[in-house]
Chain A
Amino acid sequence: MHAHEDTIAAISTPPGQGALGMVRVSGPQAIEVVNRIFHPKDLSQVPGHSLHYGQIVQGEEVLDEVVVGVFRAPRSFTREDVVEISCHGSSYILQQCLQLLLEAGARPARPGEFSLRAYLHGALDLAQAEAVADLIASSSAAAHRLAMDQLRGGISRELSQLRSQLLDFTSLIELELDFSEEDVEFADRSQLLQLVSEIDRRLQGLIRSFQYGNALKEGVPTVIMGKPNAGKSTLLNALLQDERAIVSDIPGTTRDVIEDRIVIAGIEFRLQDTAGLRETADVIEAEGVSRTLALAQRASLLLYLFDLTTETPQAAYQYVRSLELPPQAQVLLLGNKLDQLSPPLPHAAQLQFEGIAGVHFLSAKTGQGLDALRQALVEAVQAFSGPGEAPPGQAIISNIRHLDALKKAHQALQDVQQGLQAGLTGDLLTIDIRTALHYIGEITGEITTDEVLGNIFGKFCIGK
Chain B
Amino acid sequence: MFPVYDVVVVGAGHAGCEAAAAAANMGMRVMLATMNMNTIAQMSCNPAMGGVAKGQLIREIDALGGYSGIVTDKSMIQFRMLNRSKGPAMWSPRSQNDRMRFAETWRLMLEQTPNVDFWQEMIVGIVVKNGRVSGVKTSLGLEIPAKTVVLTNGTFLNGRIHIGEKSFGGGRSGERAATGITADLIALGFESGRMKTGTPPRIDGRSVNWEAMEEQPGDEKPGTFSFTDTQPLKEQRPCYITYTNAKTHEILRSGFDRSPMFNGRIRGLGPRYCPSIEDKIDRFAERDRHQLFLEPEGWNTIEIYVNGFSSFLPEDVQYKALRSIPGLEEAKMFRPGYAVEYDFFPPTQLNLSLETRLVENLFFAGQINGTTGYEEAACQGLMAGINAARKVQQKEPLVFKRDQAYIGVLIDDLVNKGTKEPYRMFTSRAEYRTLLRQDNADLRLTALGYEIGLASEDRYRRMLQKQEQVEEIQLAIAHTSVAPEQIDPYLEHIGSAKLKQKVKAISVLTRPKVKLEDLARFVPELAAALNGKNPEAIEQAEIQIKYAGYIKKEKDLAVKMMRLDDIYIPENFNFKKIAALSAEGREKLQLARPRSLGQASRISGVSPADISVLMVFMGR
Q: Which residues of A contact B (CB under 8 A)?
A: 1-2, 4-5, 119-122, 125-126, 174, 177-183, 423, 425-428, 430-432, 434-435, 438, 441, 445-446, 449-450, 452-453, 457, 461-464
Q: B residues 128-163 with Cβ under 8 Å of A?
A: none
- Taken together as a complex, chains A and B put the C-alpha atoms of A126 and B292 apart, in Å, by 50
CA distance A21 to B275 in the complex (A): 66
Q: Which residues of B contact A431 (CB under 8 A)?
A: 434, 550, 553-554, 557
Question: Contacts of B85 on A, CB cut-off 8 Å?
Answer: 425
A417 to B601, CA, bound (A): 30
| Chain A hits for B292, CB < 8 A | 464
Contact with A along B605-620 (1 / 0, CB 8 A): 0011100110011010
With A1-B619, A120-B580 as known contacts, state yes or no: A426 contacts B553, CB within 8 Å. no
**A1, B616: Cβ atoms under 8 Å?**
yes
Instruction: Given the known inter-chain contacts A177-B83, A427-B87, please indicate yes or no for A463 contacting B273, CB distance below 8 A.
Output: yes
* Interchain CB contact (< 8 A) of B52 among A119, A122, A177, A425: A177
Within the complex, which residue of A180, A452, A463 is in contact with B428, where a contact is CB–CB below 8 Å? Answer: A452
State whether A445 touches B607 (Cβ < 8 A).
yes
Interface stretch (choices B17-25, B280-288, B476-484, B515-523): B280-288
- Judge whether B604 and A450 touch: CB under 8 Å: yes
Is B86 a contact partner of A177 (Cβ separation < 8 A)?
Answer: yes
Residues of B within 8 A of A5 (CB): 579
A457-B273 in contact (CB<8A): yes
Find out whether the CB atom of B434 lies under 8 angstroms from the CB atom of A120: no
Give the shortest distance, in Å, between A393 (CB) and chain B (any CB). Answer: 27
Q: Beyond the given A5-B579, A463-B272, could you list 4 further A-B residue pairs with CB under 8 A, ordered by the A residue number?
A: A427-B90, A427-B433, A449-B426, A464-B292
Asked if B429 contacts A449 (CB within 8 A), the reply is yes
A197 to chain B, nearest CB (A): 21
With A425-B86, A431-B550 as given contacts, are A120 and B53 in contact (CB-CB < 8 Å)?
Answer: no
User: Most chain-A CB neighbours within 10 Å: which of B51, B274, B550?
Assistant: B550
CB within 8 A of B609: which of A125, A180, A427, A430?
A125
- With A177-B90, A431-B554, A464-B293 already in contact, the answer to whether A453 and B426 are too (CB < 8 A) is yes
Chain B: CB-nearest residue to A171: B428
Assess the A180–B82 pair: CB atoms within 8 A. yes
Evaluate contact between B417 and A121: CB separation under 8 angstroms.
no
Report how far A177 CA is from B427 CA in the complex, Å: 8
Interface of A is mostly: helix
**In the bound complex, what is the Cα–Cα distance between A126 and B612 (angstroms)?**
9
Q: How far is the CB of A429 from chain B (nearest CB, A)?
A: 9
Give A119 to B547 CA distance when docked, in angstroms.
43
Cβ 8 A contact of B82, one of A122, A181, A449, A450: A181
| CB of B560 within 8 Å of the partner chain | yes
Q: Closest CB-CB distance, B288 to chain A, in whole Å? A: 12
Query: Given that A1-B617, A177-B90 are known contacts, is A427 also in contact with B283, CB under 8 Å in the complex?
Result: no
Interface positions, chain B 72-87, Cβ under 8 Å from A, are 82-83, 85-87
Known contacts: A1-B617, A445-B607, A450-B417. The answer to whether A427 contacts B86 by CB under 8 A is yes
User: Digit string of B424-447 for contact with A (CB within 8 Å is 1, else 0)?
Assistant: 001111010110000000000000
What are some 9 contacts across the A-B interface (CB < 8 A)? Answer: A120-B580, A120-B616, A121-B580, A178-B428, A423-B512, A426-B86, A445-B607, A449-B428, A461-B284
Please name the residue on chain A nearest to B618 by beta carbon. A1
Give bound CA distance, A461 to B289, whole Å. 11
B549-593 interface bits toward A, Cβ cutoff 8 Å, 1 = contact, 0 = none: 010011001001100000000000000010110100000000000
In whole angstroms, what is the CA distance A461 to B607 when docked?
Answer: 30
Instruction: List residues of chain B with CB within 8 A of the CB of A177.
Output: 52, 83, 86, 90, 427-428
* A174 with B434: CB separation less than 8 A: no
Please report the C-alpha to C-alpha distance between residue A125 and residue B87 in the assembled complex, in whole angstroms. Answer: 39
Instruction: Establish whether residues B87 and A434, one from each chain, have CB atoms under 8 Å apart when the complex forms.
Output: no
CB of B173 within 8 Å of the partner chain: no
Q: Closest CB-CB distance, A161 to chain B, in whole Å?
A: 18
Inter-subunit contact A180/B579 (CB<8 Å): no
Question: In the bound complex, how far is the Cα of B617 from the Cα of A1, in angstroms?
Answer: 7
A457 touches B87 (CB 8 A): no
Interface centre among A5, A428, A441, A462 (most CB of B within 10 A): A428
A402 to chain B, nearest CB (A): 15
User: Which residues on the A side are within 8 Å of B90 (C-beta)?
Assistant: 177, 180, 425-427
The winner among A126, A434, A453, A463 for most chain B CB atoms within 10 A is: A463
Partner of B434, one of A427, A435, A450: A427
Contacts of A430 in B (CB 8 A): 428
Q: When the two chains form their complex, are residues A464 and B619 in contact, meaning their CB atoms are under 8 A apart? A: no
Contacts A126-B612, A457-B273; A464 near B291 (Cβ below 8 A) = yes
